Amino acid sequence: MKILITGGAGFIGSNLVRTLHEGSLLSADELVVIDNLSLGRREFIADLIDDSRLFFYEQDLLDAESLHAVFDKHRPDLVWHLSANSDIGYGAKFTDWDLKQGTLATYNVLEAMRRVGTKKVVFASTSAIYGEATVLPTPEDYGPLFPISLYGASKLACEGLISSFCHNFGFQAWIYRFGNIVGKNGTHGALVDFIGKLKKSPNRLPVLGNGKQAKPYLHVSDCIEGMVFGFQHANEQVNYFNLACPGATSVTALAEAVVEAFGTDTQIEYSGGTRGWVGDVPQVRLDTSRMTSLGWQARYSSDQAAAKAVEELMEQMAPGV
């Protein structure tokens, strides 16, 4: 099998590439990785790049001509589309960013697939498509869908494009609406932010919001295993799942875990308000029964995933602390 991964040097992508390279969950004869390295890092997969089974392309998905050239050369059997702007706040400052790096980039990937006859796509969506849901835990059939961030709006548009390509061109898709993913190679999010802040100023930790915001945190290893399991066990034309763990962890609990790991006398200072930033959904709970009915569930609870991620990120970001 030839597998192409967009965003393959990023947080989730680099973990997926390594798992596929090892072949422990899903084997591949050829791995094609595309990443523009805006958030991804070459060092995450540097030891794999010289492998004869792996081909790495540093390029942007908005460059349709270059993207088509890669598809023409490799003609993948399966695309794992993980590339996106993962900084929700950045999208609020530059209002066309999610449109370009999310929706238009996804169209380019789907069109490249159509041109060479690639029919299968796994897509990293988000729970942000639900907006501020009134049903918690939120099931996949919740509606109406009114995202409150441009990131969520872009992901919802991408799901629509994928569904349309499935029905017009015989594609098959696996769409995963993630909770918050944490763990090794993290490039963004609260834990990465807190560790970075404490490295600069160990006695003070500013936290957005009132700290009561709470979301399900899924360890990246569970995320990878869940995506592969769903791909192997769900066979509808358009398969869509919440991918998370039951429960949630508060921002205060995350901040306290990082402070404890640093072992410093740190004052946690909250900016106040019920949400961290414009577009932030302060309370997220996801109904994971559809994945459970397939026979899969996360190994780590939300609190366990957060604790494990703190250990991994401290080792990567703050060696010796």
Domain containing residue 144: CATH number: 3.40.50.720
Shared-domain flag, residues 190 and 175:
no
Residue 292: inside a domain, yes or no? no
| Domain presence at residue 296 | no
What is the model's pLDDT at position 218? 98
For the chain, what percent of residues have pLDDT higher than 70? 99
How far apart are alpha carbons 4 and 121 in whole angstroms?
Answer: 10
For residue 118, which of 73, 156, 88, 153 has the smallest C-alpha distance? Answer: 73
Catalytic residue selected from 57, 107, 130, 151: 151
Asked if 171 and 193 sit in the same domain, the reply is no
270: number of Cβ within 10 Å: 17
H/E stretch holding 89 reads: helix 88-93
Q: Which residue segment(s) compose the domain that 119 sits in?
A: 2-181+217-243
217 is catalytic: no
Please list the alpha-helical segments (H only) found in 234-276: 251-262
DSSP H/E element including 124: strand 120-126
| Bond prior to 137 in cis (omega within 30° of 0) | yes
Per-residue pLDDT, 93: 83
How many structural domains does the chain have?
A: 2
Helix/strand/coil for 155: helix
Q: What's the whole-model pTM score?
A: 0.96
Q: Kindly state whether residues 163 and 113 are assigned to the same domain.
A: yes
204 φ/ψ angles, rounded to the nearest 5 degrees: -145, 130
What per-residue confidence (pLDDT) applies to 293? 98
What was the pLDDT predicted at 275?
92
Residue 310: which of 249, 245, 226, 247 has the closest Cα?
249
What is the predicted pLDDT for the residue at 173? 99
Q: What pLDDT does residue 321 have?
A: 55
Report yes or no: 230 and 194 within 8 Å, Cβ to Cβ. Answer: no
Return left, alpha or beta for 285; rule: phi > 0 is left, psi -120 to 50 is alpha, else beta.
beta
Q: Would you state the pLDDT for residue 320?
A: 59
Q: What is the DSSP letter of 99?
A: I
- Does one domain contain both 177 and 264? no
Over the stretch 257-310, which tens digit does the pLDDT of each residue have? 999 999 999 999 999 999 988 889 999 999 999 999 999 999 999 999 999 999
Helix, strand, coil content of the chain in percent (nearest 5): 45, 20, 35
Q: What is the pLDDT of residue 316?
A: 93
Residue 289 lies in a domain: no
Q: What is the pLDDT of residue 246?
A: 86
Q: Which residues of the chain have pLDDT under 70?
A: 320-321
Say if 158 falls within a structural domain: yes
- Assigned domain for 290 exists: no
- φ, ψ of residue 80 in degrees (nearest 5): -110, 105
CB-based contacts of 2: which residues, under 8 Å, 6+ apart? Answer: 28, 29, 30, 32, 74, 75, 76, 77, 78
Q: Does one domain contain both 85 and 131? A: yes
58 and 118 fall within a common domain:
yes
Q: Residue 92 domain-assigned?
A: yes
